[in-house]
Structures are given as structure tokens and as C-alpha cells.
Structure 1
Amino acid sequence: MTAVPEWMHPPRPEGWFADDLDHLPEAPRHTELIDGALVFMMSPQRSWHARIVTALVVALAEQAPPGIEIEREMTIRLDNRNRPESDLLATTALYEPDRTFFTPDQVLLVVEVVSPESAHRDRTVKLRKYAEAGIPSYWRVEDEDEVPVVHAYELDEPTRSYAPTGIHRNGLSTGVPFPIELDLRKLVPGRNG
């Protein structure tokens, strides 16, 4: 067994804080903070996941109205102990080249593309945390026979929880958070649907 690198030791007895992520240059790419604990994406990413994220970024960026930007693989500082990294998000924040995170009030939509490593976090933990932070819309994209299926949710403001608005298997048409039309079968290059 090898010794744990010094940078992996929490800087204080109560663990890690959201701002600590900006001071961990040794940490692997895609490091998140969930309830004060560092979460690393250690297994190799599947090509299906990468292609879906890229296709969604392109499709949403083409449809986003002025004032809404689409970003990929950025963290959201939900509070002092939680800074999860979303696969992509729609934000009202202006572009800043040195930005390392967004705040919930800047985020309109979070999209998580489920992988085996992230399934529990995407289906339960992030679903709850994004809602509690007040993010208006959440999509969870699942792989069904290599075709993406979108589970869409909208925030019920009084309860700070998400209400499911639909499971989309072939196409997705919505006005929230802006008008979006997607042919889900065409998001994976090489597949005709």
C-alpha cells in the first residue's frame, strides 16, 4: 500500500469546504465536493457518455436565447460543503475566463448523464441537493440500449423538491428553461434512431 498524498488530507477537522477545491492543483480533473467529502471520477469515461454530453452542449447552445450560456463540466457551489460538478448546465452568468464554479441563482438547468460510477449520486444525491439549492430544472440522462432517455424535473418552489415532468425516449419538447426541441435518437453519432 502506498501512503495517501498530503493534499488528500482535509485542511481542518470538519473536512473540506467549497473554496478548497480551487486550491487543490494535484486533485484529479472532475473532483467534486459532496457533504464536505472529496469525490473523484477515477474510472475511464465511456465514449457514449462523452458523445451525449457533447451533443447536448451543441444542441442546447444552438437553441439558447441571448443571455443564456451552456457550460460543460463545471461545479456549482451549492453551499459551503457542497460543490458538485454537473455534466452540463444552462446559466445566466456572463462569461468569465477564470471562473471555476457557478452559484445556484445563476443556474437554470443542470444535466447529469448517468454513468455506472455516478448513478447513485445522479439519481438521488444530486437530485435532492440541486432542488434544495433552488435550481429550477434538472435532467437526468440514462442509457437505454445506447439511446439517451431524459428524465426531466422542475422545481416545486414551496417544498424545494423536484417534481417529475416526463420521461422522454424519442424526443424532448419543452419551454423550460427556454424553448428546446431535441431528437434524442440523433444525439449519438453513428445511430440513426
Structure 2
Amino acid sequence: MTAGSVAPAWMRSQISAEQYDSWSEQQCADIEVVDGMVVVSPSASKRHNRLARLLANALDAAAGPDWNADTDFDVRLQDVPLTNRRPDVTVYRVETIDLTPTRPEHVLLVVEVVSPGSETTDRIVKVDQYAKAGIPFYWRIEQAVTGIPTADTYVLGRAPKPYRDGDMLISRVRAAAHF
């Protein structure tokens, strides 16, 4: 048996934004789309989900009246070829809460919590994609065996290095205006 015979047909060819938009939320829940190809994301651990939820709650409380912070929904980085990412935490404009899809111009900050299997994607690929999409801030949270996560922060800069390094934060993160 080959991998091609196991994967459904929709995973073996590029999909369009129109096709993706016709799928149910359940069909889209555990996937991202990169250059039109569906990428299945493994279920995150309870530790990962708890960290993302706590961070989203703290950012939501710090965001003020113009911004919301939430977990687990698509950000449409580009339409052709379709690229949808599902950051662990997204801070977005309040007035765009009912707009679908969420676009980069609606977003202030995306956060990815690194898990086994997502290291390269979160540390290299997504940094580049979010910067090219124009998202002003990117935080990468590294889980540690000590239980104290670290946060590497990035601020949108200018080409050729789209994000410039921000601070490395250990233990307690204090978010101020504009993060």
C-alpha cells in the first residue's frame, strides 16, 4: 500500500480559496493550507493548548478596546496559491471579528507555540510567511522541560530581513500597548 492510496484525493492536489471556503469548520479544524496543499496538523498536547489559552487570555486582557486575542482560527496569508495558517494565538482588530477570512491587515500579532514536529516550521517557515504577509509582530514560544517557557519576539522591519529580533522573554511576559 502506498501513501497515495491512503490519502484522500483532496490531499494530493492544490485546492483553491473557493474550495476551502466551501468546507465545514470541522473539515478545516486540524489543517493548514500552504501553497494550495493541505497540511494536516497533529493534535496539540494539553500542555501546548493550555499555554496558548493562558497567553491568549493575558493578551486579550492587555489588548484594550481595539484588539481581541483568540486561539485556533485561520489567517488567510494569500489567496493564490492559497495559504492559510492557524496560529496558536492571534491578536486582531475588534471590528473584524465577524469577517471571514481573517486577513493579515486585520492582525497585529501572531503567536506560535513550538511543539515536537513543528520546530522548523515555527522557527523558520512561519517567520518568513508572517513577515511577507505584513503582520507587525510574531512571537515564538518555546516550551522547556523545566516548565518555564521562553518567548522569542520579532518586530516587522524592512527587507532583506523582514523581522528584526525583539526580546527573549523568560518566565513572566508583560505585554504593553502594541505588544
TM (norm. structure 2) is 0.85
Contact conserved, 2:93 with 2:107, CA < 8 A, in 1? yes
Indicate how the Cα distance of structure 1 residues 66 and 170 shifts in structure 2: closer, same or farther if over 3 A, else same.
Answer: same
- State the distance in 1 between where 2:138 and 2:84 align: 16
Indicate how the Cα distance of structure 1 residues 93 and 33 shifts in structure 2: closer, same or farther if over 3 A, else same.
Answer: farther
Alpha-carbon shift at residue 76 of structure 1 (Å): 1.2
- State the distance in 2 between where 1:117 and 1:101 align: 27
Counterpart for residue 87 of structure 2? 86
Indicate how the Cα distance of structure 1 residues 158 and 7 shifts in structure 2: closer, same or farther if over 3 A, else same.
Answer: closer
The match for 1:5 among 8, 14, 33 is: 8
Counterpart for residue 103 of structure 1? 103
Secondary structure, aligned partner of 2:83? coil
Alpha-carbon shift at residue 177 of structure 1 (Å): 2.0
- State the distance in 1 between where 2:72 and 2:100 align: 10
Counterpart for residue 64 of structure 2? 65
Secondary structure, aligned partner of 1:168? strand
Indicate how the Cα distance of structure 1 residues 3 and 175 shifts in structure 2: closer, same or farther if over 3 A, else same.
Answer: closer
Alpha-carbon shift at residue 85 of structure 1 (Å): 0.9
Alpha-carbon shift at residue 9 of structure 1 (Å): 4.2
User: What's the % identity of the aligned pairs?
Assistant: 30
Counterpart for residue 33 of structure 1? 33
Aligned residues, how many?
171
Secondary structure, aligned partner of 1:77? strand
- State the distance in 2 between where 1:174 and 1:165 align: 13
Residue segments in structure 1 that go unaligned for 5+ positions in a row? 179-193
Alpha-carbon shift at residue 84 of structure 1 (Å): 1.0
TM (norm. structure 1) is 0.79
Q: Which runs of 4+ in 1 moved over 4 A?
A: none
- State the distance in 2 between where 1:160 and 1:37 align: 27
